[in-house]
Amino acid sequence: MSGPGVGKAREVLEVMDAFRRVVRELRLSGGQVERKLGISSAQLFVLHELGNNPGCSIGEVAERTHTDQSSVSTVVSRLVSAGLAKREASAEDGRRAELRLTARGKTLLRRAPRTAQERMVRALASLPARERHVLARSLTQLVDEMGEVNGAAAPRATRSVAKRTGARRRKNHAR
């Protein structure tokens, strides 16, 4: 059997296999983190960022983890409740909350593995810019084509990313 349909079917199978491998890695990594540390992989991902960037804000963590602020805020609240992180008013601007690890958070982080999310961000960053762009657009189109997820419209994450990167470009250009 040959023809254009076979090539298309093979490509679809290849993409589906890649998705399965990514989802499997995220699931297995998350389970390992939960069993070993008692926190979610999302919480560990944020802990790593706080360890690498003490004193950053919710917005800065959101930008560094490529996550929306409301999700980061929820994760940070859980970390604070667990005694792994703390919020402090900035010495320069009391309106700004700075995030830091507690001694307990630092101890946990020392025995923590790198998260699958961190490895994925590093792998994506290593791709040539053109390939990242094509991948981002293709995945956005795929999600749009899939339609609703669990009865709700799938979020358009690329819009918020585009807004953030556009704002950053404008901000950097103004300097």
* pLDDT band (50, 70, 90) for residue 84: very high
Identify the band that residue 53 occupies on the pLDDT scale cut at 50, 70 and 90: very high
Question: Does the reported pTM lie above 0.85?
Answer: no
Average of per-residue pLDDT across 21-30:
90
Comparing CA positions, the residue from 52, 23, 15 lying closest to residue 117 is 23
pLDDT value at residue 4: 63
Predicted pLDDT at 30: 86
For the record, the structure tokens of 173 come out as: 């250009």
Indicate where the chain has its CATH 1.10.10.10 domain(s): 6-113
**Percentage of the residues of the chain whose pLDDT score is greater than 70:** 82
List 153's β-bridge partners, or say none: 148
Mean confidence (pLDDT) of the chain: 84
Topology of domain 6-113 in CATH is: Arc Repressor Mutant, subunit A (1.10.10)
Q: Which three-class secondary structure state does DSSP give residue 82?
A: coil
